[in-house]
Amino acid sequence: MSDYDNNNRNGNDDGQSGYEDVCFICHRPESKAGRMFKLPNNICVCDDCMHKTMDSMSQFNFQGMMPPFYDLNNMTGAAGGTKPPVQEEKPEKAEIVENEEKPEEPEKKEKDKGTKAPSHGFPNISFINLADLQNMGGIPQRQKIKKKKEGTPSRPVIDLKDIPAPHKIKAQLDEYVVGQEHAKKVISVAVYNHYKRVATGTMDDIEIEKSNMLMIGPTGCGKTYLVKTLARLLNVPLAIADATSLTEAGYIGDDIESVITKLLAAAGNDVEKAESGIVFIDEIDKIAKKKNTNSRDVSGESVQQGLLKLLEGAEVEVPVGANSKNAMVPLATVNTKNILFICGGAFPGLEEIIKQRLSKQSGIGYQAELKDKFDKDRNIHSKVTVEDVRKYGMIPEFIGRLPILFTLDGLAKESLVKILKEPKNAILKQYQKLLELDEVKLEFDEGSLEAIAEKALKKETGARALRALIEEFMLDIMYEIPKDDNIGRVTITREYIEGTGGPVIDIRGNSLQRIEDLNEVKE
């Protein structure tokens, strides 16, 4: 048995010097546990666990497990537990066996104190075979913790020169996200200031506070897509967590620290890189305080209270590669001081709270405001205040740690038409690329785009409805076109979307032909 230093000195490293050794018993990494003892089959045990194990073995009462015909001072039995040959017992030996369970006399203890421990094996005792742990010794790649380079001064992971200006961030977001001008401006400035804070630390001994964000908007308006695009442009680790699965510690569900575990996995188990990442907690409205309940609110207010220390900045121990600390996996310490938290939710029912606040002055008369004045306001969320969010069920301590509050507008017909054709990875461009592989050109006239947007508005699920609609009417086209190699172009019309006609098919080398339907007119 040799320790970690001797193994490295002898060149017995396992070839994965970029990762820390993890104790097989307590699952602490080398940076926390200290010196490691390396056993065969890539098993590492820390100094504390090794001493505890040896102390436990030294205090074990092996004498009580011996059969009465064994003599601890002169053992002749085999390790397999076979009975030794019968020998003529001497009186003093018999006396020891007879008085085996009686307390020994003081002079007997002094006499036996200097006797040497027997070198023979114990009967009926099988010790652990290290070869059996061959498959257990290795730790999966996702549960290994990267080493920190020793001797090099700690420097920020993000360089101040690499941070794009807010207008450049917004310009890049414009290529992927349509509309939401106010939201893109707010998030660009907040992210720029946050990473200036991460890169510089302090400026003239003035500590810059963290700018966590809370975004509110109806479903399908682009909250998650905006954060995904932002993280891809900045090239920083991003973890997207769902607040619906979070519960208070000790209950079934994901622990609150599991959001940091996902960020650590996104950073390749590199703690320094994870400490400058972005965590997006979606469906944050699902952890609002439950009203009129007498049971313990383990997935509501308790989760908000547990998230307070993460939002503010604290050192938390998180399991590597698992959601629970009770799992047999190593633990890593992550400081959340420089992690940017963005919370988002649709907050259904919040518009009623906003309307109630705005219509308090309603009355009777020619100049009085009516109660139904804001019923048809699509962007009612833009008038939200912190008081409205508190009434919805978010505790004041939680809202106070999310200083930047902004909203996303509901999508109108014009916005849906732009979403269909303008972004770099627009839905229509995806289908055009698919048909290009069949050497067929796909086109959409303006009437068809407006018809798709009108149908999507009726579903009231935002931009998510566009994909479902296009999948529906493109099914027959994607099925029929590969049958005929003479088709060169397909133009989708408004009549085809509304089910009263068919697309325009252009046969190669011939004039345009209007085909009323591919197989039958869609009902």
User: pLDDT per residue over 391-409, tens digit each?
Assistant: 999 999 999 999 999 999 8
DSSP code of residue 135: H
User: Secondary structure of 291-317 in the HEC alphabet?
Assistant: CCCCCCCCCCHHHHHHHHHHHHCCEEE
Identify the CA nearest to 213 among candidates 226, 204, 200.
Answer: 226
Helix axes of 413-421 and 446-459: crossing angle, nearest 10 degrees = 120
Q: In a 10 Å sphere around its CB, with 0-12 CB exposed, 13-18 middle and 19+ buried, how is residue 326 labelled?
A: exposed
Pick left, alpha or beta for residue 318 (phi over 0 → left; psi -120 to 50 → alpha; otherwise beta): beta
Give the helix/strand (H/E) hosting 183. helix 181-200
Cα separation, 134 vs 112, whole angstroms:
40
Identify the CA nearest to 173 among candidates 422, 431, 465, 450.
Answer: 422
Percentage, residues of the chain above pLDDT 90: 16
CB of 390 within 8 A of CB of 399? yes
Q: Could you give the domains of the chain?
A: 2-59+128-139 (no CATH), 63-113 (no CATH), 212-345 (3.40.50.300), 413-514 (1.10.8.60)
CB of 431 within 8 A of CB of 474? yes
Q: What is the mean pLDDT of residues 207-231?
A: 86
Dihedral (Cα; 125, 131, 137, 140), 10-degree rounding: -140
pLDDT tens digits for range 225-263: 888 888 888 878 888 888 988 888 778 778 888 889 889
Q: For residue 13, give Cα distances in angstroms to 8, 19, 48, 139, 397.
A: 6, 11, 22, 15, 49
pLDDT tens digits for range 308-350: 999 988 888 888 877 666 667 778 889 998 899 999 998 988 8
- pLDDT for residue 37 is more than 90: no
Token pair listed for 141: 């790649």
Per-residue pLDDT band for 128 (boundaries 50, 70, 90) equals: low
What one-character-per-residue DSSP string does 248-296 give?
-TTSSSB-TTHHHHHHHHHTTT-HHHHTT-EEEEE-GGGGSPPSS--S-
